[in-house]
């Protein structure tokens, strides 16, 4: 696997794929580790997770630099990602014991009946490149603390991140085999998932990848959690704080180079404030600093690879050919690196890529609607259902509109985000299952009823 710096398109390192023998050894080690790890007292597992958080904080700049060099995330955003991983470790180090406490049920006087939350075994995690640390830790922190062991198949363009994450757990004191990275191509995922020693799988990624994992897991009767793509609506109603909506919206679309499943992608704006919002939004978008991701003043770095940039630009060109208007950006930047500028499209025709597909880069589609009902209809006019954001000065109205939008999480007067304290996940083509909070740690456990007479 070649690690390529997208800011320069230069190869920075090469990693050898794991051999079939190495994969077999990893599976055997995971199975062996689970038998002892499941018996480690929960309090000790929580203490180890707290240690992992400390390792992350001690190595923040180093780990952030690995991210930035491999996938182009601006260094300040990469540091924030490492800190967020430490936060999720802190969260489960504090709350896992309460999340996993047995639930007691009504029973006859002579009996005690409860539900225990026991681990399942080795869990395969197929993870993406866009948040190469956070996506892994939001799975690993709860799952390992519940007593499972982890096998990470990371995206092939971030092998250094995969190895660094494995090192974090090792340095924190986790036993051998508790968390391992497999450097394998995607076409070997089925073989690993079909192995009887692997008991469940989680995937964050594209719809086709999710369907493939779900199909294989289903054939083998294994639990899955899928967090797939999104085309999140950002609804601006006629009573919104326009300056706040424009400022937050520009950031919600463009942070991490726009490469986020929960980025605001479709801006659905009430006619009464459309022109005002568009002017303010354009000003915010055009003020974002694009450049070297190692420069701490950079806000938008490169796309994660040249091929991803080319795919994005094809979607923009197809949308323009269909009738969309480019008000900002719209062309790759000259020079080295996979740089695409923050882009704003209006007059977006129904069914073109900017309307119907997920644009995984810094391209905002802006739509004009005539009413609240039309805004909700447009927000739901998508096969995706991950996140949404609603902007209004009336909190009751915001909650009412949020309840009508088909999404796994909807924020009022805030950008869509993931937070260790609350469940996260989608509906429709955005997947199923939940991560984070109590819901996340309960995904990969055996909810075992125990009746004691």
Q: Could you tell me where in the chain the CATH 3.40.605.10 domains are found?
A: 2-228+427-452
Task: Look up residue 143 and give its two tokens.
Answer: 């799952």
Instruction: Identify the CA nearest to 152 among candidates 138, 166, 171, 164.
Output: 166
Q: Is 261 annotated in the active site?
A: yes
Distances in Å between the alpha carbon of 30 and those of 1, 111, 146, 236? 23, 37, 15, 49
Catalytically annotated residue among 227, 284, 357, 443:
227
E-state strands within 191-253: 200-204, 223-227, 232-236
Task: Look up residue 246 and give its two tokens.
Answer: 């424009």
CATH pick for 232-412 out of 1.10.490.10, 3.30.70.2340, 3.40.309.10, 3.40.640.10: 3.40.309.10
E-state strands within 87-190: 103-105, 112-119, 122-126, 149-153, 179-181
Instruction: Identify the CA nearest to 433 among candidates 101, 204, 120.
Output: 204
Q: Alpha helix locations (H) across 146-241?
A: 159-172, 189-194, 207-219
Predicted pLDDT of residue 283: 98
CA–CA separation, 411 and 252 (whole Å): 12
CA–CA separation, 161 and 138 (whole Å): 15
CA–CA separation, 316 and 346 (whole Å): 12
pLDDT in tens, the chain (453 residues): 999 999 999 999 999 999 999 999 999 999 999 999 999 999 999 999 999 999 999 999 999 999 999 999 999 999 999 999 999 999 999 999 999 999 999 999 999 999 999 999 999 999 999 999 999 999 999 999 999 999 999 999 999 999 999 999 999 999 999 999 999 999 999 999 999 999 999 999 999 999 999 999 999 999 999 999 999 999 999 999 999 999 999 999 999 999 999 999 999 999 999 999 999 999 999 999 999 999 999 999 999 999 999 999 999 999 999 999 999 999 999 999 999 999 999 999 999 999 999 999 999 999 999 999 999 999 999 999 999 999 999 999 999 999 999 999 999 999 999 999 999 999 999 999 999 999 999 999 999 999 999
Task: Look up residue 182 and give its two tokens.
Answer: 């497999």
Q: Could you tell me where in the chain the CATH 3.40.309.10 domains are found?
A: 232-412
Catalytically annotated residue among 85, 89, 261, 409:
261
Q: Is 227 annotated in the active site?
A: yes
Residues recorded for the chain: 453
CATH fold of 2-228+427-452 = Aldehyde Dehydrogenase; Chain A, domain 1 (3.40.605)
CA–CA separation, 398 and 410 (whole Å): 10
* Cross-strand bridge partners of residue 364: 344
Whole-structure pTM value:
0.97
């Amino acid at each position: 696997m070649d690690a390529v710096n997208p800011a320069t398109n230069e190869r920075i390192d090469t990693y050898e794929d794991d051999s079939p023998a190495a994969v077999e050894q990893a599976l055997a080690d995971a199975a062996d580790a689970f038998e002892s790890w499941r018996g480690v007292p929960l309090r000790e597992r929580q203490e180890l997770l707290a240690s992992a958080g400390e390792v992350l904080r001690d190595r923040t700049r180093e780990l952030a630099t690995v991210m930035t060099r491999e996938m182009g995330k601006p260094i300040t955003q990469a540091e924030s990602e490492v800190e967020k991983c430490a936060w999720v470790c802190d969260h489960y180090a504090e709350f896992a014991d309460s999340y996993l406490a047995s639930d007691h049920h009504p029973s006859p006087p002579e009996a005690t009946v409860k539900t225990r939350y026991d681990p399942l075994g080795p869990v395969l995690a197929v993870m993406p490149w866009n948040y190469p640390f956070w996506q892994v830790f939001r799975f690993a922190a709860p799952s390992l603390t519940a007593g499972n062991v982890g096998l990470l198949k990371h995206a092939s363009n971030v092998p250094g991140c995969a190895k660094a994450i494995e090192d974090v757990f090792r340095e924190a004191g986790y036993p051998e085999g508790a968390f391992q990275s497999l450097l394998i191509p995607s076409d070997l995922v089925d073989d690993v998932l079909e192995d009887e020693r692997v008991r469940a799988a989680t995937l964050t990624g594209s719809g086709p990848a999710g369907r493939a994992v779900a199909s294989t897991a289903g054939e083998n009767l294994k639990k899955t959690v899928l967090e797939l793509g999104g085309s999140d609506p950002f609804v601006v109603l006629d009573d919104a704080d326009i300056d706040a909506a424009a400022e937050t919206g520009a950031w919600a679309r463009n942070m991490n180079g726009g490469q986020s499943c929960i980025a605001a992608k479709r801006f659905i704006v009430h006619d009464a404030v459309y022109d005002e919002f568009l002017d303010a939004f354009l000003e915010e978008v055009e003020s974002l600093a694009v450049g070297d991701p190692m420069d701490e003043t950079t806000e938008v770095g490169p796309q994660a690879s040249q091929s991803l940039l080319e795919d994005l630009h094809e979607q923009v060109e197809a949308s323009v050919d269909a009738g969309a208007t480019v008000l900002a950006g719209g062309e790759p930047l000259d020079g080295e690196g996979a740089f695409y500028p923050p882009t704003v499209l209006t007059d977006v025709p129904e069914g073109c890529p900017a309307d119907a597909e997920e644009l995984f880069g810094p391209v905002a589609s802006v739509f004009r609607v005539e009413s609240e009902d039309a805004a909700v209809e447009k927000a739901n006019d998508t096969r995706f259902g991950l996140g949404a954001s609603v902007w209004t000065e009336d909190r009751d109205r915001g909650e009412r509109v949020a309840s009508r939008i088909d999404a796994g999480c909807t924020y009022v007067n805030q950008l869509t985000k993931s937070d260790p304290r609350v469940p996260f996940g989608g509906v429709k083509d955005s997947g199923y299952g939940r991560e984070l909070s109590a819901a996340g740690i309960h995904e990969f456990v055996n909810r075992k009823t125990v009746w004691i007479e």
